[in-house]
Amino acid sequence: MAHLRHILAKIVFGVTPPCDEMTVLLSKSLDTPSSFTERLQTELHLSLCPSCRRVQTQFDVLHEMMRQLLEDAPKTPAEQPSAYTRPAYSALTLPEEAKQRLQARINQELHHSNGK
């Protein structure tokens, strides 16, 4: 069985991007729709790569945390970002307490994912 998994891994990693490119695809997929080919490559790669699965989990957690921070942001027209996009993130100034909560959550998630 281990031999079969090794052969399958060689095939999958031969048709999917390497991990550094996969990280870019995972990040990009949070903001823009992926093509069918990108989704297929991502699913294949993630099926055999625990490191990239961990990166995906971390991206998902950070993305959700940013979404929650944007929801909690002031709702006046002058202070509210116009859309849920990366430029909107850069327009958001976080209070120090929010930064500390975010850092604590990141540390918790990193500790949790490294313990798996």
Domain-by-domain residue ranges, the chain? 1-48, 53-116
CA 86 – CA 39 distance, rounded (Å): 21
Q: Yes or no: say if 42 and 26 are a contact pair by the CB < 8 Å rule.
A: yes
Q: What is the pLDDT of residues 65-87, one digit of tens each?
A: 888 887 776 665 555 555 545 45
- On the question of pLDDT at 92 being above 70, the answer is no
Q: What is the pLDDT of residues 27-42, one digit of tens each?
A: 888 888 999 989 988 9
**93 residue type, one letter:** T
Q: What is the pLDDT of residues 6-17, one digit of tens each?
A: 676 677 667 788
Q: What 3-state class would DSSP assign to 65?
A: helix
Query: What share of the chain in percent tops pLDDT 70?
Result: 71
Q: What 3-state class would DSSP assign to 83?
A: coil
**pTM for the full model?**
0.57
Closest CA to 17 of 42, 39, 35: 42
Question: Would you state the pLDDT for residue 96?
Answer: 77
Q: Where are the alpha helices (DSSP H) in the chain?
A: 2-15, 19-31, 36-48, 50-72, 86-91, 96-114
**Average pLDDT across the chain, whole number:** 77
